[in-house]
Structure 1
Amino acid sequence: MAHARISENLPPDIDPTKAPIAFGRRALPKLNEELQSPELLTQQRALMALCDLVHDPEKVYQAIEIGFLDNLKNLLLHHDRIVRQKTTQILYIMAMHSVGRQGLIQNGVISALTELLDDPVDICRKNTHQIFEMMARLPEGAVGILCAGLVPFLVLKLKTESEEIQELILDTLSNCLRVEASEALATDAVTILKEKLTHSSVAIRSKAACVLLEISTHPEGKVAVCEEVIPVLVNLLEDTDPEIQASAAGALMFATIRPQGRFSALDAEAIPPLLKLVAEETSKARLSAIKTLTMLAEVPQGRRTLLDHTDTFQQCLNDPSEAVKRAAETAISVIKWKPFSRRDVS
């Protein structure tokens, strides 16, 4: 005959590592109180429970309204690694939501995270860089990172961090340097990025090329690229990854706006790989390659070389892209241009 027995085991849906969540409107306020508890276990369990709740954007909004972010900022400096890890994880999940990103910006979380750039725990640093990368996707988030003075630190961290974190840093820098590049240039960013352009990782090469593309859009960035990086960019035009080719061609396009950039590109023998990209109809770098060659045709040496390749540009006149057609027409016009003589005028 069966007998009723009381098991000593917890029910399968009970997690002893998480704080029990109060019902209804009291849930978040109770957790907020527990985050301020002097007992480490209480804080840890509250963070575990909160980590589940903030996947819901409505809960994120409520948490911000209640004032969670002030307590979470304080916990970023906690002596316990588990507390710091879960706190950064919660902030990262919150940053995935639009309301969360806005809340983090308005409550000064970006500056508070600066202390974790040197955290001894890898996962804490990774979570921190994931937050920065997510925040930088918003223009105001990128401005917040710039205003916090983080860009020089991020550039220097490219020398020491793991490849996984380097990728996050490069993504963050790409968005931040779209706004302002002076701080990065003052930290010798171009030299550091130049090393990353020859990295064995395709992802790091690609992301480094993207950052250099953003740098080259700024006047002072063009100077640095012309002086240091053009030969490496020319080599990347033949990289196996189309995204790397496109970024390299784009950076060359901006750099060759300067006369120094044109001569450097010609010295690096940029014309053959650029022509190859123009001839490839599916190339993502096609438009940038055409515009770069147009710049090189402004130099007599470049024009003489390109006069034998006008048929390559003629083929582009049938391209479905109007931008490519216009760029090809301009290129042909510049390549075939001849200076007027007095006899022509008379």
Structure 2
Amino acid sequence: MFCPHKNSYLQLVCEMNPRVINKAVDQAMERKEFDPHTAAQRLESMQPSLYAPHVDITRAALGFGRLGLRLINRQLHSPDHLTQLQALHSVLDQMQISENALYLISIHLVYRLIDLMRNRNPVIREKVCMILTLTASYHQGREKIMTRPIIIKELLWLIVRDRKEIRYAAAHTLKTLSEHRCALPMLLEDDTIIETLLKMVTNDHKGIVNSHLRTIANLTDWNQERPLKANAFQIMLKLFEDEDPKIVCGAMGCMTQLCKHDVGKKLADDNDLTFVLRPFLVSNEVEVRISAVTLMQYTTHTTRSKWRAKECCEELTKNLVSLCHGQARPMMQLSAMQVLINLCDCPDIRSHMKWHWERRIKSIPIRTHEDWDGTSETTSYGYETGHNYRTMCIEKIETIKNEYGDNPEVVNVHSYLRRLKEVRERLLYAINWKSYKD
């Protein structure tokens, strides 16, 4: 019998087609059930970009028991091309189930997948990257992948030379690996990974570039010197002019990591980055405003940038105070207040803040823990409405993490909101601070 919940057949071997059994049972019970997997009723968005001949991509061909999983793993190297394709699609189905995924990882599925990354069939190359992405989401899977550094060279080869569907799948795999700090040293062992990704972000499709920017930001967080030597600063500055807000946000994320280095701060002063970011503070896109004010935290550290900001003191402080009152977005509030604290080192800006904005800063609203779940995605239901309904947030969302330490942990919502209150008090203290000379 076919089990629709696990997309697999309950038995490994059957004398007759299980679909015939299912159809006979449904006829006997006079059941009329909607089947979304039929060719006539399948949505166009469910169709794959690369098709496998004579393979039903919506149904697994083998059983999901331990014996069946071993056979699937073995058939990945079958001389029969059709059997190999069916086994690959079945593995992709079974990787959705955590128990079966861990078992496949334990029987060295990763090593077989690496052998298939240069296969002549584009369907196989794409599905291998998709399976490796799922594998990299497990700790055991990352351990297996880290024992074979050759996978990085294979992924870069696909990213540079293959068709766009496979480039996207490979970029997503590399991004998933870079999100885990334990894999970053292995990624940076490749001497060309930074240069290759920087070359691809200038002339690739938007979705692929977005994945590359996330990967570069994660790699730069570990080591800022290599991207700076590869001229990453000028490349990211050029991407600020892109029309896609996701690309702009990704470039600002990379620039934030670059400006953590002393050379990056000097380049920010030379290119007057604080003035470049001014229009983005009033952008119509919420993500762009958050990324811009987060980057401005690092561009306002130097004395030169603070005195340069004094030239547009009235406009800049007005926009930042307005961002501080964005109650629905605690990340934006925290970054905007930190920028104002940095600027208050300049006596003229501090005096301006004292006489014009102190009363409004005292009234900055801070959300309660019931209204916020500690996520940074502005597309979730909670950000759109200003309230947190956990059952409505169905997409994968990124939790806010610390930016310091060797092992950054997820920040507790209560401690993050308490930190907001502490930063507000620090901002009021900075506004009222007086030099000993006064």
Shorter chain as normaliser: what TM range? 0.7 to 0.9
- Deviation, structure 1 residue 291: 2.3
- Deviation, structure 1 residue 210: 2.5
Say which is worse superposed, 200-209 or 163-172, in terms of deviation.
200-209
**For structure 2, which runs of at least 5 residues remain unmatched after alignment?**
1-16, 22-52, 369-416
- Deviation, structure 1 residue 316: 3.8
| Equivalent residues of 2:327, 2:365 under 8 A apart | no
**Structure 2 CA distance for aligned equivalents of residues 58 and 329 of structure 1:** 49
Equivalence for 1:7: none
Equivalence for 1:277: 323
- Deviation, structure 1 residue 116: 1.0
Equivalence for 1:292: 339
**1:141 pairs with one of 180, 183, 186:** 183
| Equivalent residues of 1:136, 1:172 under 8 A apart | yes
| Equivalent residues of 2:343, 2:349 under 8 A apart | yes
Distance 1:68 1:300, change over 3 A: same
**Structure 2 CA distance for aligned equivalents of residues 40 and 318 of structure 1:** 60
Equivalence for 1:5: none
**Structure 2 CA distance for aligned equivalents of residues 272 and 12 of structure 1:** 67
| AA in 2 matched with 1:315 | S
Equivalence for 1:311: 359
Equivalence for 2:266: 223
Distance 1:113 1:308, change over 3 A: same
Give aligned-pair identity as a percent: 21
Structure 1 residues 252-263: aligned runs within 5 Å: 252-263=296-307
**Structure 2 CA distance for aligned equivalents of residues 23 and 279 of structure 1:** 53
| Equivalent residues of 1:234, 1:265 under 8 A apart | no
**Cα deviation 1:179-228 (Å, max 9, x = unaligned):** 22222222222222223333222222223223322333333333333333
| RMSD, aligned CA | 3.2
**Structure 1 CA distance for aligned equivalents of residues 138 and 70 of structure 2:** 21
Say which is worse superposed, 285-294 or 32-41, in terms of deviation.
32-41
| AA in 2 matched with 1:227 | D
| AA in 2 matched with 1:130 | H
| AA in 2 matched with 1:46 | A
1:114 equivalent in alignment to 2:160: no
| AA in 1 matched with 2:336 | A
- Deviation, structure 1 residue 131: 0.9
Say which is worse superposed, 325-334 or 160-169, in terms of deviation.
325-334
1:163 equivalent in alignment to 2:163: no
Distance 1:154 1:278, change over 3 A: same
**Cα deviation 1:125-166 (Å, max 9, x = unaligned):** 111111112222211133332333423322221111111111
Equivalence for 1:248: 292
**1:127 pairs with one of 160, 169, 176:** 169
1:193 equivalent in alignment to 2:236: yes
Equivalence for 1:178: 221
| Equivalent residues of 1:242, 1:283 under 8 A apart | no
| AA in 2 matched with 1:302 | I
**Structure 2 CA distance for aligned equivalents of residues 86 and 286 of structure 1:** 42
**1:239 pairs with one of 271, 280, 283:** 283
**Structure 2 CA distance for aligned equivalents of residues 263 and 313 of structure 1:** 22
**Cα deviation 1:245-284 (Å, max 9, x = unaligned):** 2222222122211212323433455333223323544454
Distance 1:16 1:216, change over 3 A: same
Distance 1:311 1:100, change over 3 A: same
**Structure 1 CA distance for aligned equivalents of residues 366 and 119 of structure 2:** 63
| Equivalent residues of 1:34, 1:43 under 8 A apart | yes
**2:348 pairs with one of 301, 304, 311:** 301
Structure 2 counterpart SS, 1:217: coil
| AA in 1 matched with 2:269 | C
Equivalence for 2:129: 88
**Structure 2 CA distance for aligned equivalents of residues 24 and 306 of structure 1:** 67
| Equivalent residues of 1:316, 1:324 under 8 A apart | no
| AA in 2 matched with 1:274 | L
Structure 1 counterpart SS, 2:276: helix
1:17 equivalent in alignment to 2:55: yes
**Structure 1 CA distance for aligned equivalents of residues 231 and 106 of structure 2:** 41
| AA in 2 matched with 1:256 | T
**Structure 1 CA distance for aligned equivalents of residues 114 and 176 of structure 2:** 18
**For structure 1, which runs of at least 5 residues remain unmatched after alignment?**
1-9
**Structure 1 CA distance for aligned equivalents of residues 274 and 111 of structure 2:** 47
Q: In the comparison of the two structures, how many residue pairs are matched?
A: 334
- Deviation, structure 1 residue 40: 3.9
| TM superposition score normalised by structure 1 | 0.82
Distance 1:103 1:58, change over 3 A: farther
**Cα deviation 1:292-346 (Å, max 9, x = unaligned):** 22222222332343332232333349887543444344334433444445xx8xx
| AA in 2 matched with 1:86 | K
**Structure 2 CA distance for aligned equivalents of residues 97 and 277 of structure 1:** 38
| Equivalent residues of 1:178, 1:214 under 8 A apart | yes
- Deviation, structure 1 residue 12: 4.6
- Deviation, structure 1 residue 61: 2.8
- Deviation, structure 1 residue 237: 1.2
Structure number with the higher helix fraction is 1
Distance 1:325 1:84, change over 3 A: closer
**Structure 2 CA distance for aligned equivalents of residues 317 and 35 of structure 1:** 58
